[in-house]
Structure 1
Amino acid sequence: MTHHVSAGHGPHGHQDSHAHAHDTEQPRDDLAQILDLDAELFAAYLDSVHRKIAELSEGGVRHIVDLGAGSGTGTFGLLRQFPDARVTAVDSSADMLEQLTRTAAARNLAARVRPVLADAGESLPGVSDADLVWASASLHHLDDPAAAMDVIFAALRPGGLLAVAELDGQPYFLPEDAVPDRPGLEARCRTALTALHAEQVPHLGSDWGPVLAAAGFGIEYEQTEQLRLDADSALPESAGQYAYLVLRRIRGAVDGLVDAADLAALDTLLDGGARDVRHRDDLVVRTKRQLWIARRPAVTGS
């Protein structure tokens, strides 16, 4: 699952890692940390998604393909859900695959994970007869989603499942008055990012249902869920670090797109001072997650 976060637009997968022109200055291991923290914070949601896949799979999952596998959050979650399965972890980043491979070895799972360096939008070399393809926050990075669907369709066995997990952008973390002299700061940054994403990742926030149907998949489940973590829901301490890393990437992305006063205000959320997101008691994590589970017909053309 790349649970991928480009300039903060959110996790799980990673197909060319959210490494667009505007956020390449940030260390790549920041992205891996964001993916891992996202999976930790929303573990209950991810577990429910994996259980739903298992319910629809009717027990027939032995070979999983994780498209845009990133740091491996989806890979390892699915291996827990399907203890007899193996995963082909596909990513276009050699660094991410190296980290995933190290983690698999540390967890004694190396024999169940096969890394594949590839651009899933173009081909899946040596991948066939998959029971499940998991594409988490990765499809919106593809230049030609329709062509990618043909590749995915061919990689699945007849009757196999495709699970597409997506998000609508970066999470929200702060109240309106988080920086009292710059109210609405986070909303303005989100507006700037939306414009940037419309240019660089135009498929972010798309409705994947029609794309799946046009490729020949039968859609069996759709879900849109608003997720919120706050002090009332026992917000983990790691949420502060998650917010810090995401907002730091956003800071790099919106430089030149928002005014200097907003950049300075954003800096106060990252500078270790009293307003720093790692120290706040009003922090929230709000995000929208979408899920489609579709099946390749058991008989071609049916």
Structure 2
Amino acid sequence: MTPHEHPHPHPHAHSHSHGSGSATEPDWEALGTHLEREAELKAGFIEEAAGWLRDLLGHRDVTRVLDLGSGPGVTTTALAHAFPGAETVAVDSTPGLLERARARAEREGLASRITLREGELPTDLPGLGTADLIWTSNVVHHLGDQRAALESFASALRPGGVLAVRERGLPTRFLPRDIGIGRPGLQARLDAAEEDWFSEMRAQLPGHTRTVEDWPALLVAAGLAPTGSRTFLTDLSAPLDPVARTHLRDRVARFRESLADSLSAEDLATLDTLLDDASPDGILRRPDVFFLTATTVHTAART
């Protein structure tokens, strides 16, 4: 696949506020703007993570980087900046997302160093060649056999190279526990409904194999030596700017659509109020909206 995220088609880096599409196949093309905007909101984490990886690989000359599940290319360009001597390859199964990555590379003056490859993971991995650094973000959980996926990714590492796997972290928070409408604790209930959605999505994947999601242990099972895990905080305090507010409004709209069957009538009514752009309680107008999330990256090296 090309990575955004799946073995069914597409892996890319994405958030889990899924909208239309089947449980296993979000419409990545339609989510392009959302994916790009979310990555831009987390640009600080992405740049910090890229710098950490540069330090981890400081002992070697990095000449090739693979971004598996590149999506719109925000991380791809950050990696290209962090490793100026490397060819950075953006791999994704969605042509529209690769086009966004191409445009971003051109805007940042990186077109000569970033290569775009359309493909499905892990099927097309053998044709991508090897790399000193492989980055994959929220891709593995879209592959039925996560252990086998990591083994295939590890096989594309050059000796001494590093595999960086971004998976899960802490759920995004953007509202206080009590928002003055509906029953307090709305976000905790959204988290629970989304976890059920996630389990259903995993169960429907081709070749689904239940796996204990101990990522460092899975990297060891793939034949690699752990080189550390780090969690990065994205903390945008209230009041948010209009771009971040619009992003969160879209996120809530996707929750309203995709989780409707799992939420109470009261919670659905609360979401409707949050989506009312004319209401002072709506996401676009209320003063207490923030954006807080923690993202974890696990790394391991081929010895």
**TM-score, normalising length: structure 1:** 0.84
Which amino acid in structure 2 is aligned with residue 123 of structure 1?
Answer: D
Equivalent residue, structure 2, for 1:4: 14
1:73-84 equivalence runs, <5 A: 73-84=74-85
How far apart are residue 90 of structure 1 and its match?
1.1
Candidates 256, 274, 285, aligned match of 1:279 = 285
Query: Match of 1:53?
Result: 53
For each residue in 1:84-120, what CA deviation from the matched residue of structure 2 results, as whole angstroms up to 9, or x when unmatched?
A: 2222111122221222223323444332222222222
Inter-CA distance 80–225: structure 2 relative to 1 (3 Å threshold)? closer
Contact 1:7 1:250 in 2 (8 A): yes
Query: Which runs of structure 2 are paired with 1:63-74 in the superposition (5 Å)?
Result: 63-74=64-75
The correspondence for 2:295, drawn from 283, 289, 297, is 289
Provide Cα deviations, 1:226-260, integer angstroms capped at 9, x if missing partner. Answer: 543313xx754432122112212211110111123
Counterparts of 1:146 and 1:63, CA distance in 2: 24
1:137 maps to a residue whose letter is N
The answer on 1:194 being equivalent to 2:168 is: no
3-state DSSP of counterpart to 2:128 = coil
Q: Measure the CA separation in 2 of the matches of 1:256 and 1:158.
A: 49
The SS at the match of 1:293 is strand
RMSD in angstroms over aligned alpha carbons? Answer: 2.7
Q: In structure 2, what is the equivalent of residue 221 of structure 1?
A: 228
The equivalent position to 1:208 in structure 2, one of 204, 215, 218, is: 215
Tell me, yes or no, if the aligned pair for 1:166 and 1:290 is still in contact at 8 Å. yes
Structure 2 CA distance for partners of 1:85 and 1:235, relative to 1, 3 Å: farther
Matched to 2:53, the amino acid is I
Cα distance in 1 for residues equivalent to 2:190 and 2:212? 17
CA gap of 1:27–1:4, structure 2 versus 1, over 3 A, is closer
Which whole-Å deviations, capped at 9, do the CAs of 1:191-232 have from their partners, x for residues lacking one?
A: 11111112213789932111100010111111234543313x
Change (3 A) 1:99 1:44: closer
Q: Secondary structure at the match of 1:210?
A: helix
For 1:286 and 1:267, how far apart are their aligned partners in 2? 22
> Distance in 2 between the 1:60 and 1:19 partners?
43
Moved more, 39-48 or 212-221: 39-48
Q: Per-residue deviation at 1:28?
A: 3.7
Measure the CA separation in 2 of the matches of 1:47 and 1:99. 19
* Aligned twin of 1:41: 41
Partner of 2:124: 123
Q: Distance in 1 between matches of 2:95 and 2:130?
A: 24
| Contact kept in structure 2, 1:176 and 1:184, CA below 8 Å | yes
Conserved 8 A contact 1:118-1:125: no
After superposition, the Cα gap between the structure-2 partners of 1:23 and 1:177, relative to the gap in structure 1 and judged at 3 Å, is farther
* Pairing 1:204-283 to 2, within 5 Å after superposition: 206-231=213-238, 235-273=240-278, 274-283=280-289
| TM-score computed with the length of structure 2 as normaliser | 0.84
1:3–1:38 Cα contact (<8 Å) kept: no
What is the alpha-carbon distance in structure 1 between the residues aligned to residue 126 and residue 166 of structure 2?
A: 23
Distance 1:201 1:281, change over 3 A: farther
Return the letter of the residue paired with 1:57: L
19-28 or 249-258, which moves further after superposition? 19-28
Partner of 2:207: none
CA distance in 2 between partners of 1:249 and 1:147 (Å): 31
The residue identity in structure 2 corresponding to 1:54 is R
Q: Secondary structure at the match of 2:197?
A: helix
Q: Which whole-Å CA distance do the structure 2 matches of 1:100 and 1:106 have between them?
A: 10
* SS of corresponding position for 1:61: coil
Unpaired segments ≥5 residues, structure 2: 5-11, 204-209
Greater shift, 238-247 or 47-56, is seen at 238-247
Q: State the Cα deviation string for residues 99-147 of structure 1 (Å, max 9, x = none).
A: 2223323444332222222222333142222011011122221111122
When the two structures are aligned, how many residues end up with a matched partner?
Answer: 285
Amino acid at match of 2:49: V
